[in-house]
C-alpha cells in the first residue's frame, strides 16, 4: 500500500477557524433562546419556594382564568413515566405529593406571551406543608458508596499527615440559559429543538415521560450557549413537549437567569478527609480517605461522580496501600450532577492539599515529593488498573517548574490585588507560588457501552467531491464543530466538508462530556470515512488507496480520479464506533479496569495576596498538559485557558451559597465568575505523546485544566499567607482571620 | 407600560408632577435589571436621556455643579482632575459598558447602601439638588439617604444635580470586592483631606443600612493631624482613625461578606487611604 503523507488544508493538526466564532463575537449567532415559530406559545414553570414540603393541593382556578393562558399542567397530566433520570429514574417530571428541593418544578403553563405565562404561574395556588429539610449529607440517605481498597489494611509510616478539606457548590454558569422549542407533529409525536449535551439520552427520557415510542420524539440541536455538564440532565425538554402536545401548538421555553440556577444540577459540594503516610525519604506508603459528596435531592449522575472521586481520589501517584471510600448522599439541597472534572475536581483539592502538607512535614519541595511518587507507564492504580500509554506526570511537573518566574508586579493598580478598586498600592502584598497536578478519566467508565455513530456521505457537488458528515454529537463550545470536518478532510483528502446539524435522525454520539467527543465521535467519523474509502476502492479494479484525491494501485500508480470513482453514485456509510471496553469495579474493593484513558495536567500558580485584606490577584499560571495529538491546536489552547479559568473561579470566588436548603445568591451579581482582570496571562505547554489506543493518539483535553488549577492557586495563596485554607472558594475573611 | 419622553427639564418636571408613579430612567443600569428580574412593574417610565441639561456640568464660584445625568465615563475623563475621589469611585463601577451609561443621579436614585458614588459625595460634603414643579431645594448628601434604597426624594421630585467643592488636596476612594473588577462593594471608603480648611471628610459604603460618614473619626483626625507638618502621619493616629472608621459602620453578615470582615477591612482601608491622601495633599 502506498502511504504518501498528504497534508490536507484544514485537516487534522491544523487550526481552522470555528464557523460560529465571528457570529458569536458579533452577537449574531442563533442560540436556543432565539428559536421562533409562527403561532408559538410560551411556557413557564412554577417552582417550589421550599427545599422540602408536602403538597396538599394545587388550585389552578385563578391562573386558568387569565386571558391568554392555553394550558396549565401538573404531574397528573404526564402521560408516561412520571419520573426520569440519567442513572436512576427518581426525579419527577412535575412534583407529585412532595417537593424535595427549592426550585423543583410543580406546574407548567403555556400562554400566548411569556409575561402572561409567568403571571399565570404566579396565580397557581399550591398548598404546601413545610417539612424540615435534610441539608447535611451525613444525615441523608446514602445513594452510593464506592470503596477502593488495595494493599495492607493496617499500614504504618514514618510520617503521617491528616487533613479535612471542603469544596463549595460550584455552578457551571453557562451564559445561555436552558431553552428550546417543541413543535407538535402530524404523527402525534414532537419535534424538539434544544440546547443539550446528548440528544439521544434526552430523547429516551422524553419519550418515556410522554408515553411515546422513541421514533416519535425527534430532537435537533439548537445553538448551545455553554454546557460544562449542566445540560446532561433534562430541564425544559419534557415540559415544553407536554405543553406542545397538549395545546397542539409550538411551545418555546427560556429560563431566566435566576431560574437557570434552579434549572440545572451543580458541582457536588464535598468534605474530604485524608490521611497520608510516607517514609522519611518521601515515598508514599498509604493513603486513607473518606469523601462525602452532597448529591442533593435527586440522583442525576451522582453515582458516577462518586466512582470518579473514589477511583481517582489519591491522584496520579503510586501508593501501595489505599483505603478509600467515597459516599454520595441524598439531601434537600439542589441536585448535583455533572460538571467539568466530575468528581476528580473535589478529590484533587483534597489529595493535592495533602501532598503540600506532607512535603512540609518532610521538609521536601512540593514538586520533588510529587515527582518522586508520580505514576508512570505501567504503574498500577489503586483499582488494580495498569496505566497504559504515556503518563508523563513527572515531566509535566518538571516543565511547569522550569518556566521562568513572572516579573514582580508594577504599581499599575490593575496588576495588584483589588485591581482598580484601589485597595493597595503595594501595602500588605505578598507573593506566593503553588503547584498541583491532576488526573482524569476520559470517556464513560465502569463497563458503560460508550459509542458514537457517524454517517459520512461523499458525493459530487458541482462536479467536485464533497463530504457531508452527520453525527448527533453536541457542539457545546468545545470545538467539535471543526474537529469532525478536519478528520473528514484528512481521511478522504477532500477539502469541501459540511457538518450537518446534530439530530436524532442518525444514531447516538454519546454525551459531550467526560472529555470524550473528539476521541469517540472523532473515532466514529474517522471509521465512517475509512468505510467510505473502502467502498470507493471496491469500485475501481486494482485501486488500493486514496491519495491526494486520486485512487492509486499497489504500485502507487493513479488508476482513477476521486470524482470518477464517485460518479453519480454517492458513497454513504454509517458506522458505530466504540473505544476499548471498560469494566465494572468490585463493589467491595473497587478493583477493576474501570477507565479507558487517563489524562493529566499540571499547573503552577503565582499569586499576589494582600494579606491584610485577604484579596488575591493571580499573577500568572503556567500549565503543561499531554493531549496525545492536538487535532486543532488553537482549540486545545482555548480549552486549557477556559478550564483553568473555571478552576480559578472555584479557588477564589465561585460558590452557590445555601442556607437551610435555600439558595442565597442565584444571580451573576452575587455568584461571581472570573473576569478578564482576574484571569492572568498563561503559559501553556502542550505535549503530544501519542496514546497507542486512541484515534490519532489523542487524549481528551477539556477537563484536566479545571482539575489542577484550583489546588495550585490555593497552594500559592497558602504559600503567601501561611494560612491552612482548607476550603474552597477561599473568602477574604479566611485569610484575614 | 407608558414611556414618557420629555425633551426639556421643564417638561420632565411637569411629567413627574402629573405622573408621580412614573419611574425615571437615566442610564437604565439599575432600572432595567429591576424590570428584567420582575422586581418592579411601574405603570410608566420617565425617560430622562433627552434632557440635555442633565448631562452638563460647570462651575459656580467655589463649587462645581454636575448634572445628574453625567455618566461615569465622563466623570472619569472630564472631572478626574477636579473631583479625583469621585472619579476613583467611578472607575470601580461595573464594566466599561456600565460606566458609559450609568450616572451618579441614578446611583442616588437607587440609594443603595452599596452605591459607589455615595462615599465620595459624603466625604466631600456634597449637596444634592432636587427639583419639582414646586421649586428647587439643596439637600446635604448625609441627609439624603433615609434607609436601604430610600431617600428624601419626594414622589414629584427629580434629582437635578449635585454640588461639590473641587478637591485641592487629597481625595481617596477604595473598595473591597471579591473579584478584581465588576463587583458590588463588600465595603468601601472615601476620604477627603482639605489642608487649606483643615477638615476631614469620610464616607463609608456597604457597611450600614445607608452610606454613612464617620463623624468621630473625622473629628479625631482633624484634631490629631499636624496640618503644618510635611511629615508622615504617625502610625498611632492612623490606627486610631482606622478604629474609629470601623466603629462608625453597622455592617451585617450577608452573601458578600461578614460583618467582622467589613469592619476589619474598613479599618485597613481607612489607614491606607489616609497615608495616600496625606501624601497626595502635600
Ligand atoms: C452589571 C452591572 C454592574 C454594576 N456595578 C456597579 C458598581 O460597581 N457600583 C455601583 O455603585 N453600581 C453598580 N451598578 C448599578 C448601577 O450601574 C448604578 O447604580 C448606576 O449609578 C445607576 O445609574 P443609571 O443612570 O443607570 O440609573 P437608572 O437605572 O436609570 O436609575 C436608577 C434609579 O435612579 C432613579 N433615577 C435616575 N435618574 C434620576 C433622576 N435624575 N431623578 C430622580 N431619580 C432618578 C431611577 O428611577 C431608578 O430608581 C451596576 C449595574 C450593573 C447592571
pLDDT tens, position by position, A327-365: 999 999 999 999 999 999 999 999 999 999 999 999 999
Encode B234-265: b = buried (16+ Cβ within 10 Å), e = exposed.
Answer: eeebbebbbbbbbebbebeeeebbbeebbbbb
Convert the pLDDT of each residue in B127-184 to its tens digit: 999 999 999 999 999 999 999 999 999 999 999 999 999 987 789 999 999 999 999 9
Convert the pLDDT of each residue in A242-262 to its tens digit: 999 999 999 999 999 999 999
Cα B125 to ligand 1 centre (Å): 21
Q: Which residues contact A232 (CB under 8 A, 6 or more apart)?
A: A86, A197, A198, A201, A265, A300, A301, A337, A338, A511, A513
Angle between helices A633-652 and A704-721 in degrees, nearest 10: 40
Cα B57 to ligand 1 centre (Å): 19
pLDDT at A583 over 80: yes
- Supply the pLDDT for residue B188: 98
Best B37, B38, B180 member to test A by mutation, with max A CBs in 10 Å, is: B180
Contact yes or no for B255 and A615 at CB 8 A: no
Q: Touching check for B183 and chain A: CB below 8 Å? A: yes
Closest atom of ligand 1 to CA, residue B68: 41
- As a whole number, mean pLDDT of residues A320-324 equals 98
Supply φ then ψ for residue A324, to 5 degrees.
-120, 135
- Which of B174, B179, B276 has the CB atom closest to A672's CB atom? B179
- As a whole number, mean pLDDT of residues A659-666 equals 98
- Supply the pLDDT for residue A159: 98
Do the Cβ atoms of A437 and A566 come closer than 8 Å? Answer: no
- Grouping H, G, I as helix, E, B as strand and the rest as coil, residue A390 is coil
User: Spelled out in words, what is the top-level CATH class assigned to the domain A270-445+585-736?
Assistant: alpha beta
User: What do you get for the CA distance between the two ends of chain B, in Å?
Assistant: 55
Minimum mean pLDDT range among A545-554, B119-128, B147-156: A545-554
User: In angstroms, what separates the C-alpha of B280 from chain A's closest C-alpha?
Assistant: 13
Query: Percentage helix, strand, coil, to 5, in chain B?
Result: 35, 25, 40
- Supply the pLDDT for residue A5: 43
- Measured CA to CA, the distance from residue A208 to residue A78 in angstroms comes to 10
Instruction: Give a three-class secondary structure readout of A206-270.
Output: HHHHHCCCHHHEEEEECCCCCCCCCCCCCCCHHHHHHHHHHHCCCEEEECCHHHHHHHCCECCCE
- Supply the pLDDT for residue B281: 81
Nearest residue by C-alpha to atom 35 in ligand 1: B109
A452 beta partners: A577
Cα A553 to ligand 1 centre (Å): 74
User: Spelled out in words, what is the top-level CATH class assigned to the domain A32-132+177-224+231-263?
Assistant: alpha beta
- Measured CA to CA, the distance from residue A279 to residue B21 in angstroms comes to 75
- Supply the pLDDT for residue B60: 73
- Which of A118, A423, A669 has the CB atom closest to B176's CB atom? A423
Neighbours of A406 (CB within 10 A): 17
User: In angstroms, what separates the C-alpha of B86 from chain A's closest C-alpha?
Assistant: 12
Cα A523 to ligand 1 centre (Å): 53
Share of chain A above pLDDT 90, in %: 98
- As a whole number, mean pLDDT of residues B113-129 equals 98
Residues lining ligand 1, CB < 6 A? B 23-31, 33, 48, 68, 92-94, 98, 101-103, 105-107, 109-110, 115-116, 158-159, 184
pLDDT at A688 over 80: yes
- Measured CA to CA, the distance from residue A383 to residue A591 in angstroms comes to 4
Do the Cβ atoms of B80 and B38 come closer than 8 Å? Answer: no
- Measured CA to CA, the distance from residue B6 to residue A636 in angstroms comes to 54
A470 beta partners: A455
pLDDT at A2 over 60: no
Q: Touching check for B268 and chain A: CB below 8 Å? A: yes
Taking CA atoms, A239 is separated from A64, A84, A661, A697, in Å, by 18, 12, 24, 42
Give the residue among A89, A130, A93 at the shortest CA–CA distance from A108. A93
- Among B5, B29, B75, B155, the mutation site with the greatest number of ligand 1 atoms within 8 A of its Cβ is B29
User: In angstroms, what separates the C-alpha of A733 from chain B's closest C-alpha?
Assistant: 6
pLDDT at B190 over 50: yes
Do the Cβ atoms of A411 and A426 come closer than 8 Å? Answer: yes
Computed over every residue of chain A, the mean pLDDT equals 97
- Supply the pLDDT for residue A673: 98
Do the Cβ atoms of A289 and A313 come closer than 8 Å? Answer: yes
Convert the pLDDT of each residue in A608-643 to its tens digit: 999 999 999 999 999 999 999 999 999 999 999 999
- Measured CA to CA, the distance from residue A498 to residue B205 in angstroms comes to 56
Nearest residue by C-alpha to atom 7 in ligand 1: B93
Contact yes or no for B260 and A733 at CB 8 A: yes
Do the Cβ atoms of A26 and A506 come closer than 8 Å? Answer: no
- Grouping H, G, I as helix, E, B as strand and the rest as coil, residue A586 is coil
Cα B24 to ligand 1 centre (Å): 11
Nearest residue by C-alpha to atom 37 in ligand 1: B106
Q: How far is CA A145 from the centre of its chain?
A: 22
Instruction: Give a three-class secondary structure readout of A324-387.
Output: EEEEEECCCCCCECCCCCCCHHHHHHHHHHHHHHHHHHHCCCHHHHHHHHECCCCCECCCCCEC
Q: Where are the alpha helices (DSSP H) in A108-236?
A: 114-123, 199-210
Contact yes or no for B172 and A733 at CB 8 A: no
Q: Touching check for B72 and chain A: CB below 8 Å? A: no
Angle between helices A480-492 and A517-539 in degrees, nearest 10: 30
* DSSP-derived secondary structure letter, A633: H
Angle between helices A366-373 and A393-402 in degrees, nearest 10: 160
- Among B1, B4, B93, B205, the mutation site with the greatest number of ligand 1 atoms within 8 A of its Cβ is B93
Judged on CB neighbours under 10 Å (0-12, 13-18, 19+), A568 is exposed
Q: Taking a contact as any Cβ pair under 8 Å apart, which residues of chain B between 22 and 61 contact chain A?
A: 36-38
Tell me which chain B residues have a C-beta less than 8 angstroms from the C-beta of A669: 184
In chain A, what's the furthest Cα-to-Cα distance? 82
User: In angstroms, what separates the C-alpha of A306 from chain B's closest C-alpha?
Assistant: 29
- Supply the pLDDT for residue A539: 95
Best A45, A259, A413, A421 member to test B by mutation, with max B CBs in 10 Å, is: A421
Computed over every residue of chain B, the mean pLDDT equals 96
Q: List where CATH 3.90.1170.50 sits in chain A.
A: 32-132+177-224+231-263
- As a whole number, mean pLDDT of residues A587-603 equals 98
ipTM above 0.90, yes or no: yes
Do the Cβ atoms of A710 and A728 come closer than 8 Å? Answer: yes
pLDDT at B282 over 80: no
Share of chain A above pLDDT 70, in %: 99
Encode A500-538: b = buried (16+ Cβ within 10 Å), e = exposed.
Answer: eebbbebbbbbbbbbbbbbbbbbbbbbbbbebbbeebbe
Cell of B29: 443600569
Cis amide linkage into residue A717, ω under 30° from 0: no
Query: What domains does chain B contain, in order, with CATH numbers?
Result: 1-46 (3.30.43.10), 170-280 (3.30.390.50)
User: In angstroms, what separates the C-alpha of B82 from chain A's closest C-alpha?
Assistant: 18
- Measured CA to CA, the distance from residue A332 to residue A128 in angstroms comes to 16
Do the Cβ atoms of A644 and A709 come closer than 8 Å? Answer: yes
- Supply the pLDDT for residue A7: 57
- Which of B176, B255, B256 has the CB atom closest to A421's CB atom? B176
Do the Cβ atoms of A315 and A347 come closer than 8 Å? Answer: yes
Tell me which chain A residues have a C-beta less than 8 angstroms from the C-beta of B180: 414, 417-419, 421, 617, 675, 677-678
Neighbours of B125 (CB within 10 A): 18
- Supply the pLDDT for residue A3: 35
Beta-strand relationship, A179-184 and A251-254 = antiparallel
User: What do you get for the CA distance between the two ends of chain A, in Å?
Assistant: 71
Encode A51-67: b = buried (16+ Cβ within 10 Å), e = exposed.
Answer: bbbebeebebeebeebe
Contact yes or no for A652 and B179 at CB 8 A: yes
Q: List where CATH 3.30.365.10 sits in chain A.
A: 270-445+585-736, 451-578
- Among B5, B9, B16, B24, the mutation site with the greatest number of ligand 1 atoms within 8 A of its Cβ is B24
Closest Cα in chain A to B41: A115
Contact yes or no for B92 and A422 at CB 8 A: yes
- Supply the pLDDT for residue A301: 98
Q: Scan for cell 425527534, then name that residue.
A: A218
Tell me which chain B residues have a C-beta less than 8 angstroms from the C-beta of A422: 88, 91-92, 172-175
Do the Cβ atoms of B218 and B187 come closer than 8 Å? Answer: no
Do the Cβ atoms of A303 and A118 come closer than 8 Å? Answer: no
Convert the pLDDT of each residue in B63-112 to its tens digit: 999 999 999 999 999 999 999 999 999 999 999 999 999 999 999 999 99
User: In angstroms, what separates the C-alpha of A416 from chain B's closest C-alpha?
Assistant: 9
Nearest residue by C-alpha to atom 19 in ligand 1: B107
Convert the pLDDT of each residue in B3-19 to its tens digit: 999 999 999 999 999 99
Instruction: Give a three-class secondary structure readout of A682-726.
Output: EEEEEECCCCCCCHHHCCCCCCHHHHHHHHHHHHHHHHHHCCCCC
**H or E, element range at B188:** strand B187-194
Q: Which CATH number is A451-578 given? A: 3.30.365.10
User: In angstroms, what separates the C-alpha of B31 from chain A's closest C-alpha?
Assistant: 15
Give the residue among A214, A136, A219, A184 at the shortest CA–CA distance from A39. A184
Convert the pLDDT of each residue in B223-269 to its tens digit: 999 999 889 999 999 999 999 999 999 999 999 999 999 999 999 99
Cα B69 to ligand 1 centre (Å): 10
- Supply the pLDDT for residue B169: 72
Contact yes or no for A421 and B183 at CB 8 A: yes
- As a whole number, mean pLDDT of residues A313-334 equals 98
Amino acid at each position: 500500500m502506498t502511504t504518501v503523507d498528504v497534508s490536507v488544508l484544514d485537516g487534522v493538526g491544523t487550526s481552522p477557524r470555528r464557523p460560529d466564532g465571528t457570529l458569536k463575537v458579533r452577537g449574531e449567532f442563533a442560540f436556543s433562546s432565539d428559536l421562533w415559530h409562527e403561532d408559538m406559545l410560551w411556557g413557564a414553570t412554577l417552582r417550589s419556594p421550599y427545599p422540602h414540603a408536602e403538597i396538599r393541593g394545587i388550585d389552578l382556578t385563578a391562573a386558568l382564568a387569565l386571558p391568554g393562558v392555553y394550558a396549565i399542567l401538573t404531574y397528573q397530566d404526564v402521560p408516561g413515566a412520571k419520573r426520569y433520570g440519567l442513572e436512576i429514574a427518581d426525579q419527577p417530571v412535575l412534583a407529585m405529593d412532595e417537593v424535595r428541593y427549592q426550585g423543583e418544578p410543580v406546574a407548567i403553563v403555556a400562554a400566548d406571551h411569556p409575561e402572561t405565562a409567568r403571571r399565570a404561574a404566579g396565580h397557581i395556588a399550591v398548598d404546601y406543608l413545610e417539612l424540615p429539610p435534610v441539608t447535611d449529607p451525613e444525615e441523608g440517605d446514602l445513594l452510593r458508596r464506592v470503596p477502593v481498597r488495595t494493599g495492607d489494611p493496617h499500614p504504618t509510616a514514618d510520617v503521617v499527615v491528616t487533613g479535612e478539606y471542603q469544596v463549595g457548590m460550584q455552578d457551571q454558569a453557562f451564559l445561555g440559559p436552558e431553552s428550546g422549542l417543541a413543535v407538535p407533529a402530524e404523527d402525534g409525536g414532537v419535534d424538539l429543538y434544544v440546547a443539550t449535551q446528548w440528544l439521544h439520552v434526552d430523547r429516551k427520557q422524553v419519550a418515556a415521560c410522554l408515553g411515546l415510542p422513541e421514533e416519535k420524539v425527534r430532537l435537533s440541536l439548537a445553538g448551545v450557549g455553554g454546557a460544562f455538564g449542566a445540560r446532561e440532565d433534562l430541564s425544559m425538554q419534557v415540559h415544553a413537549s407536554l405543553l406542545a402536545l397538549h395545546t397542539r401548538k409550538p411551545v418555546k421555553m427560556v429560563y431566566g437567569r435566576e431560574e437557570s440556577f434552579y434549572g440545572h444540577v451543580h458541582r457536588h459540594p464535598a468534605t474530604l478527609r485524608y490521611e497520608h503516610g510516607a517514609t522519611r525519604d518521601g515515598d508514599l506508603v498509604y493513603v486513607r480517605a473518606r469523601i462525602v459528596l452532597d448529591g442533593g435531592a435527586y440522583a442525576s449522575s451522582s453515582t458516577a461522580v462518586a466512582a470518579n472521586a473514589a477511583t481517582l481520589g489519591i491522584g496520579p501517584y503510586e501508593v501501595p496501600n489505599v483505603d478509600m471510600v467515597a459516599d454520595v448522599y441524598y439531601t434537600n439541597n439542589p441536585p448535583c450532577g455533572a460538571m467539568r472534572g466530575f468528581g476528580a475536581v473535589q478529590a484533587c483539592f483534597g489529595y493535592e492539599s495533602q501532598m503540600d502538607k506532607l512535603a512540609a512535614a518532610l521538609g521536601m519541595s512540593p514538586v520533588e515529593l510529587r515527582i518522586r511518587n508520580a505514576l508512570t507507564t505501567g504503574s498500577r492504580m489503586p483499582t488494580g488498573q495498569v496505566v497504559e500509554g504515556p503518563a508523563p506526570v513527572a515531566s509535566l511537573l518538571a516543565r511547569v517548574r522550569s518556566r521562568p518566574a513572572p516579573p514582580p508586579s508594577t504599581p499599575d493598580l490593575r496588576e495588584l490585588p483589588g485591581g482598580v478598586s484601589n485597595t493597595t498600592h503595594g501595602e500588605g502584598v505578598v507573593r506566593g507560588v503553588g503547584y498541583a497536578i491532576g488526573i482524569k478519566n476520559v470517556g464513560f467508565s465502569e463497563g458503560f457501552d460508550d459509542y458514537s455513530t457517524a454517517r459520512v456521505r461523499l458525493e459530487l457537488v458541482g462536479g467536485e467531491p464533497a463530504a457531508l458528515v452527520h453525527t448527533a454529537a453536541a457542539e457545546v463550545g468545545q470545538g467539535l464543530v471543526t474537529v469532525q470536518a478536519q478528520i473528514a478532510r484528512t481521511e478522504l483528502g477532500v477539502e469541501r466538508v459540511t457538518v450537518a446539524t446534530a439530530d436524532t435522525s442518525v444514531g447516538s454520539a454519546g454525551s459531550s462530556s467526560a472529555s470524550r467527543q473528539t476521541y469517540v465521535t472523532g473515532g466514529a467519523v474517522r471509521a465512517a470515512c475509512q468505510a467510505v474509502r473502502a467502498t470507493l476502492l471496491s469500485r475501481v479494479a486494482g485501486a488500493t488507496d486514496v491519495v491526494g484525491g486520486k485512487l492509486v494501485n499497489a504500485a502507487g500508480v493513479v488508476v482513477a480520479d476521486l470524482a470518477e470513482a464517485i460518479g453519480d453514485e454517492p458513497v454513504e456509510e454509517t458506522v458505530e464506533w466504540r473505544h476499548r471496553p471498560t469494566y465494572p469495579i468490585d463493589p467491595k474493593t473497587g478493583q477493576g479496569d474501570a477507565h479507558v484513558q487517563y489524562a493529566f495536567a499540571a499547573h503552577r500558580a503565582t499569586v499576589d495576596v494582600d494579606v491584610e485584606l485577604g484579596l488575591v490577584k493571580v499573577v500568572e499560571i503556567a500549565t503543561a498538559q499531554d493531549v496525545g495529538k492536538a487535532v486543532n491546536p488553537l482549540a486545545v489552547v482555548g480549552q486549557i485557558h477556559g478550564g483553568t479559568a473555571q478552576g480559578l473561579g472555584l479557588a477564589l470566588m465561585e460558590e452557590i451559597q445555601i442556607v437551610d436548603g435555600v439558595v442565597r445568591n442565584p444571580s451573576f451579581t452575587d455568584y461571581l465568575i472570573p473576569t478578564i482582570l482576574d484571569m492572568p496571562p498563561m503559559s501553556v505547554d502542550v505535549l503530544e505523546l501519542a496514546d497507542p489506543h486512541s484515534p490519532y493518539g489523542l487524549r481528551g483535553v477539556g477537563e484536566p485544566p479545571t482539575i489542577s488549577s484550583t489546588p495550585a492557586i490555593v497552594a500559592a495563596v497558602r504559600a503567601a499567607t501561611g494560612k491552612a485554607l482548607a476550603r474552597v472558594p477561599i473568602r477574604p475573611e479566611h485569610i484575614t482571620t | 407600560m407608558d414611556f414618557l419622553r420629555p425633551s426639556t427639564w421643564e417638561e420632565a418636571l411637569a411629567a413627574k408632577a402629573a405622573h408621580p408613579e412614573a419611574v425615571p430612567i437615566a442610564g437604565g443600569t439599575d432600572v432595567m435589571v429591576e424590570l428584567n428580574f420582575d422586581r418592579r412593574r411601574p405603570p410608566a417610565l420617565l425617560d430622562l436621556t433627552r434632557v440635555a441639561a442633565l448631562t452638563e456640568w460647570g462651575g459656580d464660584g467655589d463649587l462645581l455643579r454636575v448634572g445628574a445625568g453625567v455618566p461615569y465615563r465622563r466623570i472619569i475623563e472630564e472631572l478626574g482632575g477636579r473631583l479625583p475621589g469621585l472619579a476613583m469611585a467611578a472607575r470601580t463601577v461595573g464594566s466599561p459598558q456600565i460606566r458609559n451609561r450609568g450616572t451618579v443621579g441614578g446611583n442616588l436614585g437607587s440609594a443603595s447602601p452599596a452605591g459607589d458614588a455615595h462615599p465620595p459625595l459624603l466625604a466631600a460634603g456634597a449637596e444634592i439638588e432636587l427639583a419639582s414643579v414646586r421649586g428647587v431645594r439643596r439637600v446635604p448628601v448625609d441627609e439624603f439617604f433615609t434607609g436601604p434604597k430610600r431617600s428624601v426624594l419626594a414622589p414629584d421630585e427629580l434629582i437635578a444635580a449635585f454640588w461639590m467643592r473641587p478637591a485641592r488636596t487629597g481625595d481617596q476612594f477604595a473598595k473591597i470586592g471579591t473579584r478584581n473588577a465588576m463587583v458590588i462593594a463588600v465595603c468601601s471608603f472615601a476620604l477627603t483631606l482639605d489642608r487649606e480648611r483643615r477638615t476631614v471628610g469620610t464616607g463609608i459604603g456597604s457597611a450600614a443600612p445607608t452610606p454613612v460618614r464617620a463623624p468621630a473619626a473625622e473629628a479625631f483626625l482633624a484634631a490629631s493631624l499636624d496640618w503644618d507638618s510635611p511629615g508622615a502621619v504617625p502610625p498611632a493616629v492612623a490606627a486610631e482613625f482606622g478604629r474609629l472608621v470601623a466603629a462608625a459602620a453597622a455592617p451585617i453578615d450577608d452573601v458578600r461578606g461578614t460583618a467582622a470582615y467589613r469592619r476589619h477591612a474598613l479599618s485597613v482601608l481607612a489607614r491606607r487611604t489616609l497615608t495616600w491622601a496625606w501624601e497626595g495633599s502635600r
